[in-house]
Amino acid sequence: MTTPQVEPDITLPPAVRIHEVGPRDGLQNEAVVVPSEVKAEFVTRLAACGLTTIETTSFVNPSWVPQLADAEEVLGLLGEQGRGPSRPVLVPNERGLDRALAAGVGAIAIFGSATETFAQKNLGRSLEESVEMFRPVVARARGAGLRVRAYVSMCFGDPWEGPVPVPQVVSAATRLMDLGCDELSLGDTIGVGTTGHVHRLLAALDAAGLPPDRIGVHFHDTFGQALANTMAALRDGVSVVDASAGGLGGCPYAESATGNLATEDLVWALHGAGVETGVDLAALVETSAWMAGRLGRPSPSRVVQALAAS
């Protein structure tokens, strides 16, 4: 298989942990329901590729995201492989946490917003109300020994409110992290961010007491900027990147949100820069091509397209 020529880039971290979101964020917006057995096999294949952190599913109300209504069944199929701190699940509230705890998970993620409009559309609550909803979720999860991640969506722009001021994002992020979360993921939900915006937001978060070593980045590729924005964040000290195998993804509450940064595209760029990921790129391309076949359409990842055809 073709591999990138390695030219070490000392401006990047020596290693990056990829937070694989394909099984959850990648599949949640698919119109055709993916069988539970296929979802479980997808997670198993991703783990075999060397991806250590894999977000497996979501315990949202099944009527909100029908694609993920089978969370318990998927985790049951995965068994021990679906548990532990490296297999987080998304939970929206205490009812979702109850289901997650009953399933024996080892890590959860909460999903907040930087804007009022998206908080209302996604959670049916104001920003203030959503923080209060998450407070007991985080407290109970931490009390049970679970790792907790906080997502903040619409960090770089909102389809209803337009540009989102950096101080507004910092306020939303710090309020969620003050609940006791371990890690923060910054979401460019509709893919409108640019590199200068990334630098400015990370600097503001650092000044507010949230340094890059507590942050992950989550870019969508609507305008083709996901990889460039990710590399900008890495040069600012971030070393955790959310990505989706095959570039799958979208958001059921924001129609302008297209696919996530493709894990293969990220791995190609990082390996070419001499950055360690622990990922077997050939196996990952094979896995994404397999999933594309199950979905009945080509993978949007440029690296998958190039290497699967070679």
Q: Residues with catalytic annotation? A: 251
Per residue, what are the HEC states of the chain?
Answer: CCCCCCCCCCCCCCECEEEECHHHHHCCCCCCCCCHHHHHHHHHHHHHCCCCEECCEECCCCCCCHHHCCHHHHHHHHHHHHCCCCCCEECCCHHHHHHHHHCCCCEEEEEEECCHHHHHHHHCCCHHHHHHHHHHHHHHHHHCCCEEEEEEECCCCECCCECCCHHHHHHHHHHHHCCCCCEEEEEECCCCCCHHHHHHHHHHHHHCCCCHHHEEEEEECCCCCHHHHHHHHHHCCCCEEEEEHHHCCCECCECCCCCECEHHHHHHHHHHCCCECCCCHHHHHHHHHHHHHHHCCCCCCHHHHHHHCC
